[in-house]
Amino acid sequence: MPETLKHSSFGTGLTLLLKAVLIAFAVFQIVMSFMGMLEPLIQRGIFLGTALGSVFFIGALEKRAKGVPAAIWVGDLLLAGLGYLVCYHIAASSGRLSNFMVELTTIDLAFGLIALALVLEAARRTIGWFLPLLAIAGLGYYYFGHTLMSGAWQPPRVSFLTFIETYYTSTETIFGYMTDMGTRVIAIFIIFGALLLSTGATEVFIKLASLIAGQRHGGQAKVCTVSSALFGTVTGSAVANVMAMGPVTIPTMRRAGYSGSYAAAVEAVSSAGGQIMPPVMGAGAFIMAEILNVPYSDVMVAAIIPAILYFTVLWFSVGMRARRLGITPVRPEDLPRWRELAEPFEALPMYLPVGALILLLSMDYTPTLAGAVAVLTLLATLVVLRTLRCLMDEGPGGLLSCWRTLLAQVIEGLWQGGKAIAMIAVLLACAAIVVKVLTATGAGVKVSSLILSFSDGNLVLVLILTAILAILLGMDVPTTASYILASAIAAPILTRLGVEPLNAHLFVFYFAIMSAITPPVCASVFAAASIAGENFWRVAGHAVVMAIALYLIPFLFIFRTGVLMEGGVVNILYDTIITGCAVIAITGASAGFLAGRIGWGVRLALYVGGGMLFYPALWLDAAGVALLVVCATLSWRSEQTATRGLAAGQVGRGETG
C-alpha cells in the first residue's frame, strides 16, 4: 500500500476498519489451520468473500488518499460491500445449495453474475488485464459458443441456470479446488512469511547470505543470490522478493562496481528462483501437489537439486563477471560475525520455526498443519526470548514496552499477510474461471491435440512448445496463474508421451517461473528496474543472458531424472554432477569467462560441450566433460599468460622509472 495511504489515512475509521477485517481474516486462517476447515462452501465463501471485498476496500482507501473525488472512491466502497455480500451469501446458503434438488432463486442468479464481474475486476486491479480478458473470452465461448460456432470447436449448449450453477453456486469454479487450496494451504504460508519479515527475519537473511558469499569474487552479487534464495523460502513470490531485498542489494552491488542495470538483473533473476526453493516454494507448488494427489514433501524433495542448479548458475555467472571486471570481494571487516547468527535472541526466532516447518513437511504432515505449527512456534519463540531479553536488560519494568513492540510487529505481519492473501485469492478465482472453460468445453483437450499434431509426437518439440506456452501464459500474470493454465493444457500431452506426471508438472512450473524474467512482460525485471532507476530493456537483456543456462535446466527433468531424486543414489549423483558441468559450461560461455577470459571460439566450444551433457548418452557425457576440461585449461593458461605479461610490464615500467 502506498506511503500516502499509510500516513494520511491510517488514522481514519475506514482504514482502521480495513485493518481489523484483514487482521481478523489472518487470525481466522490460523485458527482454521489448527481446528480443521469448515464445510466447503462456508469456508471458501468466507475466504473469497473477505478477499474480494477487501481488494475493493483497499482500492477505495488508496483513491481517497490520492484526493480522488468522493463519488469514485465511495463507489469502490460499494463494490467492496457487494464483494463481501455475494460470497458470504454462498456461505450462509451452504445447507440449501448442497441439496441436490435445490432450485436457484432470482437472488442466487443475480448474485452469480455480480460475483463473476467482481472477481474479474478485482483480478484486473491486482494482476493486470491479461488473465481477466482471457477469462472473459472463455466465459463468452462457454455460454455463447454453441450458438455462434460450429464444427469441432463448438462447445456444448448450456443454459443460464447451468452457467450460474457451474461458476457460482457449486464447488466447481470460483469456490472450487483452487480456492480450497488458497484457504487450506497457501494462506497459512503467506501469514508465516509476513510474520517472519515483520519481526526481523530480513536482517538475519542478509547477514547469513553475507557470511556465506561475501568473501568470494562477486561477493556483493552473490549475497543477493543467497539472500533471495533464503527469502524465497519464506515468500514464494518473485516480486515480493525484489521489493523486499532490492532496495538493499541493488545499491550495494552498484557501490561494488556493477552497473545499475546488471545489479537489477541479478536481483530479478535471483528473486524469481526463490519460487522453486524448498521448503516453501511458490503457491503453484502446493496446487501441483493437489492436482497430482501426492504429498507436498514429494514436490519439495524433487525440487531440491533443480533449486541448487538454478542458484549455481547465478553464483558462477556473477562470480565470472566480477573476475572479468576486476571487482574485489567484500572486505572481511565489513562482514558480520558468525556469532551474530548464533545469537539466540535474534536468530532463534527464524531458525526454530523454519526448522519445525521442514521437519513436519519431511514427516509427511499436511502443509496446513506444518504451516500452522511454524506460525505458533514463531510466536511462542518471540514471546519467550523477547521477555527473557527484556528481563536481562531492563528488568520487569520494561516488559510492558517490550510486549507492546512485539504486539505491534505481529499486528503488522497479520495486516500484511491479510492483504497478500486477498490478492492471491482473487487470482486463484480468476484462474479457476479459465481452467473451468478449458475442461467444460473440451478446449483444453483440443489445444493439446493441436500441439501434439503439430509436433508429430516428437518429445523435444513438444517440450519446446510447452515451454513457450508457459512463458506466454505468464505474460502479465503471476507464476501461479501461468502454471495453472499451462499445466491444464500441456501436462497431459507430456504424460501421454511417457513423461512421469511429477516431472511434467515441474517442467511446466519451472517455465512459469521463468516468465517472470522473460521479456516483453516480466514482472520481477520491471520491479527491479524501477528500484534501480534503470532502463527496463537493458535490465531485461542482462537477465536473459544471465538466464541462458536456466532455460535449459527444465529439460533435465525429462532426460536426466536423477536431478529430481529419481532412481538410486549412484544415478542421482551421476546426473547431478553431469548437469552441474553442463550449466557451468553454458554459464561460462554466456559470461565470457571460465577460469579466465575466453574468446568466441572457446565460448562456442563451451556451448557445444554443455549441450552434449543434456542428453543422457555415455559417449556424449565423456565428450562434453572433456570439452569443458579443455576449455577450462585453455582459459586458465590464457589468464596466467596475461597476468604474467601484466606483471612483467609493471616491473619494466618500474625499472625504467
Greater confidence, 326 or 150?
A: 150
Residue 97 has pLDDT above 80, yes or no: yes
Report residue 24's pLDDT band, with 50, 70 and 90 as the boundaries: very high
Q: Which residue has the higher pLDDT, 77 or 217?
A: 77
pLDDT of residue 482: 81
Q: Tell me what the pLDDT averaged over the chain comes to.
A: 84
Quick one: pLDDT at residue 3?
A: 45
Confidence of residue 235 (pLDDT cuts 50, 70, 90): low
Confidence of residue 407 (pLDDT cuts 50, 70, 90): very high
Distance between CA atoms of 152 and 138, rounded to whole angstroms? Answer: 16
- Using an 8 Å Cβ cutoff, are 215 and 332 in contact? yes
- N residues, the chain: 657
Over residues 594-620, the pLDDT tens digits come to 777 778 888 898 888 888 888 788 888
- Whole-model pTM: value is 0.83
The whole-number pLDDT of residue 39 equals 93
**pLDDT of 295-318, one tens digit each?**
888 898 999 999 888 888 888 888
pLDDT at 5: 41
**Among positive and negative, which fits the CA dihedral 60, 64, 69, 74?**
positive
pLDDT-derived band at 1 (thresholds 50, 70, 90) equals very low
Task: Please count the other Cβ atoms lying within 10 Å of the Cβ belonging to residue 247.
Answer: 12
Q: What is the pLDDT of residue 644?
A: 61
pLDDT-derived band at 379, boundaries 50, 70, 90:
very high
Q: How far is 193 from 527, CA to CA, in rounded Å?
A: 20
For the chain, domain boundaries: 3-129, 179-428, 581-657
Task: Say whether pLDDT at 557 is over 70.
Answer: yes
Average pLDDT over residues 541-565: 88
Q: Between residues 326 and 124, which one has the greater pLDDT?
A: 124
Question: Per residue in 349-359, pLDDT tens?
Answer: 888 888 888 88
The predicted pLDDT at position 645 comes to: 58
Helices and strands (H, E) in the chain, number of each type: 31, 0
User: Given the C-alpha cell 543422457, which residue does it identify?
Assistant: 616
Let me know: does 210 contact 336? Beta carbons within 8 Å.
yes
pLDDT greater at residue 653 or residue 157? 157
What are the angstrom distances between the C-alpha of 443 and each of 43, 156, 165, 456, 491?
A: 30, 11, 20, 20, 14
Distance between CA atoms of 161 and 113, rounded to whole angstroms? 11
Handedness of CA 610, 611, 616, 618 (dihedral sign): negative
* Cα 592 to Cα 600: distance, rounded to the nearest angstrom: 8
Note the pLDDT of residue 198: 87
Q: How confident is the model at residue 505 (pLDDT cuts 50, 70, 90)?
A: very high
For residue 9, the model assigns a pLDDT of: 45
Is 377's pLDDT higher than 90? yes
For 467-501, write each residue's pLDDT tens digit: 888 888 777 677 788 888 888 888 888 998 889 99
What is the rounded distance in angstroms from the CA atom of residue 37 to the CA atom of residue 368?
Answer: 10
Report which of 191, 567, 204 is spatially closest to residue 414, judged by C-alpha positions: 191
Using pLDDT thresholds of 50, 70 and 90, give the confidence band for residue 657: very low
- Looking at mean pLDDT, say which of 9-18, 133-142, 221-230, 305-314 comes out highest: 133-142
How confident is the model at residue 10, as a pLDDT?
41
Q: What mean pLDDT is predicted for residues 176-195? A: 89
